[in-house]
Amino acid sequence: MSRVYLYLGVLLCMISLCCSSPSSLGSRRSILREVQDNGKSGGDHPDYAVELNASNFDAVLKETPATFAVVEFFAHWCPACRNYKPHYEKVARLFNGADAVHPGIILMTRVDCASKINTKLCDKFSVGHYPMLFWGHPSKFVGSGWEPKQEKSDIRVVDDARTADRLLNWINIQLGSSFGLDDQKFQNDHLSANISDPVQIARAIYDVEEATSTAFDIILDHKMIKPETRASLIKFLQLLSAHHPSRRCRKGSAEFLVSFDDLYPTDFWSTNKQEDDKSSVKNLKICGKDVPRGYWMFCRGSKNETRGFSCGLWVLLHSLSVRIEDGESQFTFNAICDFVHNFFICEECRQHFYEMCSSVSTHFNKARDFALWLWSSHNKVNERLMKEEASLGTGDPKFPKTIWPPKQLCSSCYLGLDQRMNKIEWNEDEVYKFLTEYYGRTLASLYKDRDIIGSDGTEGAEDLIVATNAIVVPVGAALAIAVASCAFGALACYWRSQQKSRKPRRTWK
């Protein structure tokens, strides 16, 4: 009889192992995969396809800069899905991530239907077999679904994707393209014929976000926040929270600003706190966590080492210069000059920019004057780099440095050429008008296309942080945020009360 119980116990044990919930198996496997990816054991690379679930599906697809999306529905326990994954990844590496060969065109994603959190999501798309792939514009997936008997649908089933070659061939047919699995980065690029066209600057909103995120990643990775740089970073965060062209970055900058004293108290550097590496700071994504990063759209160069971050940072600075009010012009000048001087990691560039800042002897009273100074300084940088790149052959052949703006974009900006000085004579009123339109309304127009701007053409109160003279100090900045944004009101008021309770009260100048 005891032997019967023994056999029965073994049988029940086997059944319990076989019948373990798919979600628990999924969690174990995802943990193992994460460990392997972090350790890069066996030379494996991280997945290129973006893992989605019901909690972030709509957000990621709504915010991606990509024009199209492929969504693969699979089950982690499915042998066919495991065998198909290398094929899907071969295609995903062409379009996804920082090393993408053809970034910004297609977002390749996957959803695990064996995870309980995704059950309703997979039902909405009538997933009847694994793997099952869908194609469409990313926005068409948001809050949507798919039915087999639908006569018209903006979402299509990818019906020939058994191998990487077949999937890529299917994509090429849809796009009229000729992408290949052997394409290398920046080869066979389909760059815009005129990336300086006003229509293209709207896409730079993603590059401004990318540049902002990259800048703060560099600051945190290199532990550049120190007692002597603390005040300059606070000023720059104040500027970003009020005037960044991206609502995501305004929100993230405000959250960082409100939390700054808790994250970096004045005794931070005299204690062991800096050894903790502040996971809370690492998790604070200054321009949002749901946007797939690794794309350069407007600022994409034809060579790996050109444009990108530096271009995105210049676009950010110009966009800030045309959004400020007259009373903020000197503050903005100081905030930008101090930020570049303390946090820009390219030493030669940093020194050149600091010299241009130091040469300014007058106080900026008008936003127009500061915007024109920044524009003139950028042209001086381009003039210097034109000569260096020509002599060394390091420039981007498709995007050589040039004097901005070119005549085809703003013919009215040009008065003529001073033959004696061999310099362009500018109509600065027209230049300022162009800068305001190009880096202001046109740059942010993509938000309007995505219904982020209200029906009256203005941004909602929860998105726009009104700048006031209170921006001079952290407490004032928090108050400005509270007045202009209900979303940050509670946090800002709490932060302000915390500041008041500390003795003596600190004021940053």
Whether the bond between 131 and the residue before it is cis, its omega within 30 degrees of 0, is yes
- 3-class secondary structure, 312: helix
In the residue annotation, 78 being an active-site residue is answered as yes
Amino acid code (one letter) for 173: I
Secondary structure element (H or E) that encloses residue 142, with its range = none
**In the block, residue with structure tokens 């992408």:** 179
Q: Of the residues 18, 81, 311, 337, which is catalytic? A: 81
- 3-class secondary structure, 414: strand
- 3-class secondary structure, 284: coil
In the residue annotation, 81 being an active-site residue is answered as yes
d(CA 479, CA 496): 8
By CB atoms closer than 10 A (0-12, 13-18, 19+), residue 72 is buried
In the DSSP assignment, the letter for residue 413 is G
d(CA 258, CA 64): 27
List, in order, residues 6 or more apart from 479 with CB less than 8 Å away.
Answer: 470, 492, 496
Q: What is the DSSP string of 284-332?
A: --TT-SSS-----STTB-SSTTSBTHHHHHHHHHHHHHTTS-GGGHHHH
Q: Of the residues 78, 337, 357, 493, which is catalytic? A: 78
List the catalytic residues.
Answer: 78, 81
